[in-house]
Amino acid sequence: MTLKSRLNRLELTIGSWVTLGHSSIAEIMAAAGFDWLVLDMEHSVLELSDVQSIIQVLDGKECPAIVRLTSNHSDQIKRVMDAGATGIMVPMIKSAADAKAAVEGVYYPPRGQRGVGLARAQGYGASFQAYRQWLDDNAVIVVMIEHVDAVQAIDQILAVPGIDAYIIGPYDLSGSMGRPGDLDHPEVQAAIAQVLEAGRRAGKPGGIHVIEPDLQALQQRIQAGFNFLGYGLDIRILDAICRSHLQTIRATLKNS
């Protein structure tokens, strides 16, 4: 079953973030069983060449690759999709017009406005028509809700045809409300709840990024109703495991 169909069925999916450019890291994470992986071009040093190499590895593991863009720009959307991405995660969507632009960047005319090129996604020119069908059946477009303007326009954003899921960016959202990093403030929590409720009304899967690899925090998000969840990221998982194991080792040696 494709990720797109699972999202349409509102199934719970759990993915993670890739920020390091070595494809072996993404391969290990895919083999561990994440439902999808986000290749983060916005807050990492990943270049497009890194992204394509990682996508090639993830294809071998049948793990959908979603590229988090630096902006809602049609040129970048076109290039990452041509590289073979399953879909895109678009930052700072604030209106229905923004959401519509993202959809148009992924799909060819008449559905969208994406320019036609022959690259990896199209079998290097050998399977363009098959790729057109693949887009309809598989392409995933995730909008990032991370500004108070988006909260105010959430129903219109989620009503745009072609939007498959949303994910809340709590830090930027709190900043746009004049409370950067104060994620537990009642106004910030109320905004998150408003988005979650709008997602339920629209029948759209939605989530939030549980940045620290904390199983209790993940369970709380699931119980709250989120079903498109990012769990950790490569650097935080690596750091947390190393620190935890070394603390245990040192405590054991000290007491032995």
Look up the CATH number of the domain holding residue 60: 3.20.20.60
How far is 56 from 34, CA to CA, in rounded Å?
Answer: 16
Residue 255 has pLDDT above 90, yes or no: no
User: DSSP letters of 55-119?
Assistant: HHHHHHTT--EEEEPSSS-HHHHHHHHHTT-SEEEES---SHHHHHHHHHHHSPTTT--PPP--S
Question: What distance, in Å, lies between the first and last C-alpha atoms of the chain?
Answer: 51
User: What is the mean pLDDT of the segment spanning 82-101?
Assistant: 98
Q: Give the total residue count for the chain.
A: 256
DSSP string, 216-253: HHHHHHHHHT--EEEEEEHHHHHHHHHHHHHHHHHHHH
**Mean pLDDT confidence for 15-22:** 97
Sequence-separated (6 or more) residues with CB below 8 Å from residue 245: none
Q: In whole numbers, what is the pLDDT of the chain averaged over residues?
A: 96
Number of domains the chain contains: 1
User: With b meaning 16 or more CB within 10 Å and e meaning fewer, what string describes 58-91?
Assistant: beebebbbbbbbeebebebbbbbbbbbbbbbbbb
pLDDT value of residue 174: 94
Q: What is the pLDDT of residue 181?
A: 86
Active site residue 147: no
Amino acid occupying residue 11? E
Query: Which of these is catalytic: 22, 43, 209, 245?
Result: 43
Q: Calculate the alpha carbon distances from 22 to 32, 50, 109, 200 in Å.
A: 16, 8, 35, 37
User: How many CA atoms lie within 13 Å of 233's alpha carbon, on the beta-carbon side?
Assistant: 15
Q: Are 74 and 90 in contact (CB under 8 A)?
A: no
Answer yes or no: is pLDDT of 256 > 80. Answer: no
- Report pLDDT for 200: 96
Give the domain extent around 185: 3-255
Cα distances (angstroms) measured from residue 70 to each of 93, 214, 249: 12, 27, 40
Percent of the chain with pLDDT over 90: 95
